[in-house]
Structure 1
Amino acid sequence: MQKIKFTLFSLRDLIIAFGPVTLMVLIVCGLGFWLVDPAPPRIIDISTGPENSAYERFAKLYAAELAKNQIQLRFKTSQGSQENLQRISDPDSEIEVGFVRSGSTDRADAAEKGLVSLGSLFYEPIWIFYRDKKELTTISQFRGRRINVGPDGTGVGRIFEQILSVNSMSADDVSFQHLDDTPATVAFLAGQLDVLVFSTASDAPLVQMLLQTPGVRLFDFVQAEAYTRRFPYLSQVTLPRGIVDIGLDLPARDYHLISPTATLVAHESLHPALTGLLLQAAAKIHSRADWLSKQGEFPSDRYTEIPVSGEAEKFYKNGAPVLQRYLTFWVANFIERMWVVIVALGALFLPLSKIIPPLYVWRIRSRIYRWYGQLRTVEQIIDNLSNSDKRATLEKQLNYLDEIEDKVNRISVPLSYAEELYGLRSHIQFVRTRVQSLLKSR
């Protein structure tokens, strides 16, 4: 314990000197933490699509990516785009994100419901499969046929009705069926349906199976450019010759397709940090080349009629936030949210760095210097002695000096201030010598 006293600095005085500053910093940090945006939640609810659909499969990939940053993605199946839009815009729903096919809404309606796009993810072409002895070249040739467009919630029926409208047709000119994709395919192959209309990714098993089924034809949108001019949410894509099977040369020629895109749609209340995290996952999952898109074409802020969120625009322009490239998501997010506090602390640091060291020195030296006042009092008393009580007064002051010296000997100061302490002790001895010389002269 004795060795602890002889240190280069006094921990106790250092703590007392820093105490008010530390308290101020804690108050500033607490106030800043209360004022800044709240931390992002650790759970995201997403609306996908039917079971075993491409939307559900991609949701599982997103869940795996988000789990790397301790974010849980809970997904709920649905009939498709229309139901997803309803869930996201419903204020009583916990769903904040969903997969939506472009063309399922319009810009004004999306803005009114507080919907924002995080970007398009991949092409979902309009696949029209039919049986006929001859190749059909126009949509009007499907007049009077039994056409399956999937359940109402998928949004395919809405898009196909728009296609019919520019061909001087309406839903009354065909017989719409609304079966799920798998039973519809079975009915089609059994001759109970004339036409199948899908809108799905190129790697969908049903699409790949139908492309290789003898007697089943794929409709070639030779007027694809005209459709994309009429409907901006559609893109013209090409199914290349031989892409299904190069050895068998399937298909035997290029096919023109029109395609909406799958879009990641969120409610505007989604935490901005989660927007960036979802887009980072999207970049890993959707940037690869496939049958219809090139490497790095997706995700993209194009091909969507829903306004792209500001956070998403920043991502497409600058990429992931700088801090998240080097730090974990939660650490980077904390720093990004607390930057105001960090700047404020930085502004306080310079003046405080000039105040605290002198304050610490003053606390140490004040232990020594306050005794000089006592010595000065003793000197004033002996300088103003009266002859009547001179000896008694001197003896009293001598005893007082002994008390001072005893208390000074108990003072603990860092070794770097020992010179002042020993100086005080020598000055006590100096005053004692004066008192003793006066006693002898008496």
Structure 2
Amino acid sequence: MTNIRKFTRFSFGDLVATAGPTVVVIAVLCAAAYLIVDPAPPRQVVLATGQENSAYEEFGKEYAAALAKHDITVTTRRSLGSQENLERLNAGKVDIAFVQSGSTEEQAARRAGLVSLGSLFTEPVWLFMREPAAVTRLADLKGKRINLGPEGTGVPKLLRKVLELNGVEPADLTIGALENTPATVELLEGRIDALVFSSGPEAPLVQMLLQTPGIKLFDFTQAEAYSRRLPFVTHVVLPRGIVDVGRDIPAQDYHLIAPTATLVARDDLHPALVDLFVQAASQIHGDTGWFQTQGQFPSARFTEIPVAREAEKFYKNGPPLLQRYMSFWMANLLDRMWVVVVALAALWIPLSKVVPPLYVWRIKSRVYRWYGQLRTVEQELDAAQGEQRAQVSVALLARLDEIEAMVNQISIPLAFADALYGLRSHINFVRQRVRAVAAAAAEEAAAAAAPVPAV
């Protein structure tokens, strides 16, 4: 029964020995495709924000909290503002940053390898002055002490263009370059007449200055004209009472000019992280605000920087299908599996044509190798001459018995039984030939030994 089982069972060991190297090669190449062609997203990202107490800094904290839910660590880095953020992006010091519209041009952004994840919110230009201030037009600022902020903020560049439209030269002003927080202290202490910065209304400094007695917000009554002359700014209105309806703060509508804050990344930022940041932007900036309606932001509009492909997909179709129903990492894993599937198909189709013939050859080689032994027996038989033939025949018959005994121990699947039985019949064929030669040699020996009859 043991021999029958050996004879009839499927040769799993031969299949493993034959297909094993192929499977290992496929597994290694698929793993390489999984890790190299489409690597997993990094778990740490560096986000450049803005100055202390700025809207950029506050929103940076919200992004960090949103991505922390998906086990992504967002390290926020303070900066002077938009221009410095662009410099850090170009230098590869940060992965993503807040950038103000008008800070760069499309061709420069393409050359630097930058992509936009969408515009997030309008950030008006706030010009706060001490009361009483007889400033109704920007031309009235001549001779005033005004803080424009550091060059890295982008505000000095913007306001110089606005002042130029009003015929005001930088030499007509006493310009300061303090950051927003110390400049606010200088304004409150009366050491400067005005300060200007660009920020979202959520910034603590904006909220505080709008409610500080003795501080007046400049009304850009010609905001619409500025928006026509400067394409990267829009005209927005700060409604009366928006800060505090009960106290009627502010006591009038204010017209402001506003560039747009944009989330900009390097074009090598992992696509899965682009999806996460855009989804976070939708949650953080998608509600109504002082200057926006429900769903107006984030948007692929209002940016001169090319929009990332994944961001465009989000604005058209919403979040990726898998991420709507499962965790980010599981969805990302399944989404990346197509790379492995393609690599597996490309390898398995040709290799699958090689494995079956190798399996058949491995099984039949157990049988075919004994034909070499049979051929050796026949060659020795043919080489024997004269009286040696009888002795050689006896030895060859013993060897054939050994060969047959060993052949009977071969474990072979039932599908290949015909080869085994063919071998056994051929062993018997060679045995018959050896016996015939032995019989002929015996007859010759007997004839030679017989007495010669007398004449």
TM-score of Structure 1 vs Structure 2, range by shorter chain? 0.7 to 0.9
CA pair 408-165 structure 1, distance change in 2 beyond 3 A = same
Listed one character per residue, the Cα deviations across residues 157-213 of structure 1 (whole Å, up to 9, x for unaligned) are: 222222222222233344333333334334434444433323111111222223333
Q: Structure 2 matches for 1:126-205, cutoff 5 A?
A: 126-132=125-131, 137-205=136-204
- Counterparts of 1:418 and 1:36, CA distance in 2: 44
CA pair 243-413 structure 1, distance change in 2 beyond 3 A = farther
Q: Structure 2 matches for 1:22-101, cutoff 5 A?
A: 22=23, 25=26, 36=37, 43-67=44-68, 71-90=72-91, 94-101=93-100
Tell me the equivalent position of 2:447: none
Deviation at 1:87, TM superposition (A): 2.8
Given the two structures, how large is their TM-score scaled by the length of structure 2? 0.75
The answer to whether the Cα contact below 8 Å between 2:26 and 2:348 also exists between their aligned partners in 1 is no
Greater CA radius of gyration, 1 or 2?
A: 2
Given the two structures, how large is their TM-score scaled by the length of structure 1? 0.77
Mean CA deviation greater in 132-141 or 363-372 = 132-141
Deviation at 1:136, TM superposition (A): 6.1
Tell me the equivalent position of 1:357: 356
CA pair 146-398 structure 1, distance change in 2 beyond 3 A = same
- Counterparts of 1:106 and 1:437, CA distance in 2: 99
Mean CA deviation greater in 300-309 or 36-45 = 36-45
Tell me the equivalent position of 2:289: 290
Tell me the equivalent position of 2:445: none
2:299 pairs with 1:300:
yes
Letter aligned with residue 48 of structure 1: T
Listed one character per residue, the Cα deviations across residues 248-307 of structure 1 (whole Å, up to 9, x for unaligned) are: 444455433221122223445656665455434434433333322233333323222344
Task: Give the 3-state SS of the residue equivalent to 1:103 in structure 2.
Answer: coil
CA pair 378-212 structure 1, distance change in 2 beyond 3 A = same
**CA root-mean-square deviation:** 4.6
Letter aligned with residue 50 of structure 1: Q
Listed one character per residue, the Cα deviations across residues 353-406 of structure 1 (whole Å, up to 9, x for unaligned) are: 233223313322332354467568879999999997786566444422321232
Task: Give the 3-state SS of the residue equivalent to 1:100 in structure 2.
Answer: strand
CA pair 426-139 structure 1, distance change in 2 beyond 3 A = same
- Counterparts of 1:418 and 1:269, CA distance in 2: 57
The answer to whether the Cα contact below 8 Å between 1:368 and 1:424 also exists between their aligned partners in 2 is no
Count of aligned pairs between the two proteins: 437
Tell me the equivalent position of 1:220: 219
Tell me the equivalent position of 1:240: 239
Listed one character per residue, the Cα deviations across residues 35-60 of structure 1 (whole Å, up to 9, x for unaligned) are: 85877665443332223432233333
- Counterparts of 1:180 and 1:32, CA distance in 2: 49
- Counterparts of 1:145 and 1:5, CA distance in 2: 103
Task: Give the 3-state SS of the residue equivalent to 2:146 in structure 1.
Answer: strand
The answer to whether the Cα contact below 8 Å between 1:37 and 1:337 also exists between their aligned partners in 2 is no
CA pair 433-112 structure 1, distance change in 2 beyond 3 A = closer
Tell me the equivalent position of 2:264: 265
Unaligned ranges ≥5, structure 2: 443-455
- Counterparts of 2:345 and 2:180, CA distance in 1: 61
Deviation at 1:234, TM superposition (A): 0.8
CA pair 405-112 structure 1, distance change in 2 beyond 3 A = closer
- Counterparts of 1:429 and 1:21, CA distance in 2: 36
CA pair 396-316 structure 1, distance change in 2 beyond 3 A = same
CA pair 7-171 structure 1, distance change in 2 beyond 3 A = farther
Unaligned ranges ≥5, structure 1: none
- Counterparts of 2:316 and 2:188, CA distance in 1: 47
Deviation at 1:61, TM superposition (A): 3.3
Mean CA deviation greater in 273-282 or 80-89 = 273-282
CA pair 258-22 structure 1, distance change in 2 beyond 3 A = same
- Counterparts of 1:227 and 1:347, CA distance in 2: 59
The answer to whether the Cα contact below 8 Å between 2:234 and 2:257 also exists between their aligned partners in 1 is yes
